[in-house]
């Protein structure tokens, strides 16, 4: 484990030469601090798994689904609205957690490291990647909720988004790959495309008439 960390710190120094002047302990602290934008992705994902998967199933249980489907609202507006209704609060919670993290860094007496922590990657991840992943998580939760007959099955469908994020965290911690700003941008573009495709799939799978008949 020590060797892995040293490898990660060495690669971090190559990417950020200004770290060379820091004490060894602060280099290791920076290595973990710079992983935090990836950890933040788990917050909206877990919220989505907990709440988005109930979005349509709960409508069924409360007998409010049929009147909702009878409205002139189009399917994509309905599904996107349900996803955003949960995604926006989850995104705000994630940003609050990011703020608390920065406050924690200052509280630990490491305020002089903030200029190194607040890298372009930090802002790209926080204000571009996190919102896109949040929407994707809630869209998958809505799909699971529309296709499953119980919340547990819906959560299993939405859980698929956790695995790639855990893989990224694992790769980052091993120090094999350290994500640069360009990598974050590429990931954001890819997830934006995936968001659009997921919405199209959700609309295709959400068959209004059959759902009403099946759940009566």
Domain-located, residue 215: no
Binning pLDDT at 50, 70 and 90, where does residue 61 land?
low
Residue 19 lies in a domain: no
Question: Whole-prediction pTM value?
Answer: 0.82
Classify residue 24: in a domain, yes or no.
no
- Which CA distances in Å does 163 have to 46, 105, 115, 120? 12, 28, 31, 25
Q: Is residue 25 part of a domain?
A: no
* Residue 211 belongs to some domain of the structure: no
Residue 84, pLDDT above cutoff 50: yes
Q: What's the confidence (pLDDT) of residue 199?
A: 87
Range 173-200 average pLDDT: 82
- Asked if residue 124 belongs to a domain, the reply is yes
Domain encompassing residue 142: 1-14+33-206
Quick check: 1 pLDDT over 50?
A: no
Number of domains in the chain: 1
The reply to whether 178 falls in a domain is yes
């Amino acid at each position: 484990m020590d060797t892995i960390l040293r490898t990660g710190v060495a690669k971090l120094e190559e990417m950020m030469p200004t770290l060379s002047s820091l004490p060894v302990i602060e280099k290791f602290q920076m290595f973990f601090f710079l992983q935090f934008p990836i950890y933040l992705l788990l917050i909206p994902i877990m919220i989505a798994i907990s709440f988005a998967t109930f979005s349509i199933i709960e409508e069924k249980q409360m007998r409010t689904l049929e009147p909702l489907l009878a409205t002139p609202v189009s399917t994509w507006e309905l599904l996107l609205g349900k996803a955003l209704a949960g995604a926006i609060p989850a995104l705000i919670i994630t940003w609050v957690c990011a703020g608390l993290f920065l406050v924690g860094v200052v509280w630990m007496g490491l305020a002089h490291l903030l200029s190194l922590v607040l890298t372009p990657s930090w802002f790209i991840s926080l204000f571009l990647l996190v919102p896109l992943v949040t929407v994707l998580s809630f869209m998958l939760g809505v799909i699971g909720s529309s296709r499953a007959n119980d919340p547990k099955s819906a959560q299993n469908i939405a859980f698929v988004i956790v695995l790639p994020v855990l893989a990224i965290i694992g790769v980052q911690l091993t120090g094999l790959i350290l994500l640069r700003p360009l990598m974050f941008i590429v990931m954001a573009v890819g997830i934006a495309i995936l968001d659009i495709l997921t919405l199209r799939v959700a609309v295709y799978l959400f068959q209004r008439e059959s759902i009403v008949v099946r759940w009566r």
